Amino acid sequence: MDVSTVKISEVMTKMPRCIELHQPLLTAVKWMDELKVRHLPVREAGRIVGIVSDRDLGLMAGMSAPGKEEQGCKIEDAMISAVLTVFESQTVKEVTGKMLAQRVGSAIVTDNSGVITGIFTDTDALKILSGNI
């Protein structure tokens, strides 16, 4: 596979599940476990405002402790608001180069009008390198 010509839209995970800004952290933990994913785009009023990863959740000390959800811990407490967003028409080489330069593990993929169409992660990149995509 020539990563300089393959479009990210051909290898991304299409239509990823998104979590809303004010949802509980425990919802993200549950979804990540169920879906076997490590990143969830975060939305507010239908637009992307951040991303939360399993690593971000792990940094929230004691987040799974009993009673923590009742204390008001929400996605906005753990998410990263600086999100790498790329277009479907960009190549795998372009996107992975941006991910490397920004030291991030995922990129949100949008169409030309800014609507989320997918997510591309470091795991997807590894699948390409290993020939599993």
Residue ranges and CATH numbers for the domains of the chain are 8-130 (3.10.580.10)
Question: Could you give the 3-state DSSP secondary structure of residue 54?
Answer: helix
Three-state DSSP class for 10?
Answer: helix
- What is the pairing mode between strands 19-20 and 47-53? unpaired
Query: Mind listing the pLDDT tens digit for each residue in 108-129?
Result: 999 988 889 999 999 999 998 8
Write down the pTM of the prediction.
0.84
Best CA proximity match to 119, nearest among 12, 19, 42 = 12
In the structure, what pLDDT confidence band is assigned to residue 57 with cuts at 50, 70 and 90?
A: confident
